[in-house]
Structure 1
Amino acid sequence: MNSEKNTIWPDPFCPLPALYLVATPIGNLRDVTLRALDVLQASDVILCEDTRVSGKFLKAYGIKKPLKTYHDHSTEKDRAEIVKMLKEGKCVALISDAGMPLIADPGYKLVQEVRASGLPVYAIPGANAPLMALQLSGLPSDAFSFHGFLPPKQKARQDVLGALKGRKETSIFFETAPRLLKSLQDIAGVYGDVDCVIARELTKKFEEVKAGSATDLISYFEKNTLKGEIVLLIGPSAQGVSGDDIDAQLKKLLKDMSVKEAVATLVDATGLPKKMIYNRALELKDK
């Protein structure tokens, strides 16, 4: 009889009273760790953004624990109640609808208050869409930054992109399908024809990774509709004409040409999308 301790499947998890930040799958329900399941099964209460979404995941693994909502609109009073539970010796797990808690999700204020109260916080790692997209992208991964969702308004979006332009790193964003084309057009306008990657529906049946220059992707998505959850990555080496260069050249051309002629000239010279140049020319003409 083998009496050696089993280090592959250890004894049942007995958690310390603490706040546990537990990663959940981003699509495929099998992408959850044994340790995460142990913690969730042993928790006294599970905090989640949406009890309906989390309830389906927990039901799949037979985990029946009290659920309490915690989201962007949770208050200081809500956090005080959670700290009180921890002080009473309870184990509290915080999960996201998908992926790692606190990564483009609420929770950092809770972590601050728990730590300020002298109570422990532990992270239980797992699936993460931005990192998976970076792995699959083929873009440089030695330096990168994640910025959540790009702003829905064009001016704010262009400001964010402009602030990141010139960084020697891969920039990662979440984006929605309805806004993707406009965001790509703004990227081409600000960065020039930079390398980009679109990763969608990661770990799911229709997972897709599409790579190319900003203009290539604009042309592709003008003809192909896109659905699902999207990660947008921008490469660090912005090559080609910048947004400021486009404006300068358009202003110069518009002094002697019609909008149509100026657009045609600049499209031939840069290879940038005609629609994007045309819209920018109209904006400059009206100023």
Structure 2
Amino acid sequence: MGKLFLVPTPIGNLKDMTYRAVEVLSQVDLILAEDTRTSGKLMKHFEITAPLQSHHMHNEHSTLASIISKLKQGKQIALISDAGTPAISDPGYLLVREAIANKIETECLPGATAFVPALVQSGLPNERFIFEGFLPPKKGRQTRLMQLSEETRTLIIYESPHKVIKTLSQLIEFFGADRQLSFSRELTKLHEETFRGSIEEAKQHLEQKPPKGEFVLCIAGKSKK
């Protein structure tokens, strides 16, 4: 039997790549990458020569059998995403589940994940929190927001720059304009920004300053009073 490694990659700053991640990627027989063009640049930077194979949300069902077959043949395979830790709002869960079902060893290296630094520096309670990832794009979105508005733990949501203002408007509708929020964008990059204030203030801030980069929204839980 081979082994499946899940290897986090930097979310922006290449210096966040760990020595161990480079070592594992340099030694495996195959690297499964969400976008081989994006990951190819990372591999070139660290002089990693293992072959890359495309593995993303649109083909992960059709490639599972062949990957499991390679692992059964003794191949050492690593899974990476474009940025951050595989399976966290990225492909990975299906492959890990299938590997476990086939009694193939899996190992996830610790490393970069966008929501952790965003939460820690938000100033909101972080001893208990709920990670929601991306909200449903259409079907079930309002129902989910209604459910989350009652959550008393700090809530974490991922959002894209072209949808973030619309999402903030919906949060105002369901959570109230005064609910406290912190958002971080462009984490670890040159133009990293963290904003703290009410949801309404965050919306006004981004309306005056066109949003760029991927956003992590940290929203205060509903008061228990």
TM-score, structure 1 length as denominator? 0.74
Aligned with residue 142 of structure 2, among 142, 158, 173: 158
Matched-pair contact (CA < 8 Å) for 2:149–2:222 = no
Which protein, 1 or 2, shows the higher relative CO under an 8 Å CA cutoff with sep ≥ 6? 2
Structure 2 residue 119 is the aligned partner of structure 1 residue 141: no
Structure 2 residue 97 is the aligned partner of structure 1 residue 115: no
* Match in the other structure for 1:171: 155
Aligned with residue 232 of structure 1, among 213, 217, 223: 217
Structure 1 unaligned blocks of 5 or more: 1-15, 240-287
Structure with the larger helix share: 1
Q: Look up the equivalent residue of 2:52 and give its one-letter code.
A: L
Q: Distance in 2 between matches of 1:26 and 1:152?
A: 23
Q: Look up the equivalent residue of 2:116 and give its one-letter code.
A: L
Structure 2 unaligned blocks of 5 or more: none
Aligned with residue 12 of structure 2, among 7, 27, 30: 27
Deviation per CA, 1:7-32, whole angstroms, max 9, x where unpaired? xxxxxxxxx93000000000000101
Structure with the larger strand share: 2
Matched-pair contact (CA < 8 Å) for 1:191–1:238 = no
Q: Distance in 1 between matches of 2:62 and 2:169?
A: 43
1:210 deviates by: 0.4
Q: Look up the equivalent residue of 2:171 and give its one-letter code.
A: I
C-alpha RMSD of matched pairs (Å): 1.6
* Match in the other structure for 1:205: 190
The runs of at least 4 aligned residues of structure 1 exceeding 4 Å deviation read none
Structure 2 residue 94 is the aligned partner of structure 1 residue 94: no
Matched-pair contact (CA < 8 Å) for 2:60–2:91 = no
Q: How many residues are aligned here?
A: 223
1:238 deviates by: 5.2
TM-score, structure 2 length as denominator? 0.94
* Match in the other structure for 1:190: 174
Deviation per CA, 1:191-244, whole angstroms, max 9, x where unpaired? 1121011100000000000010111112222222111111111111359xxxxx
1:75 deviates by: 4.8
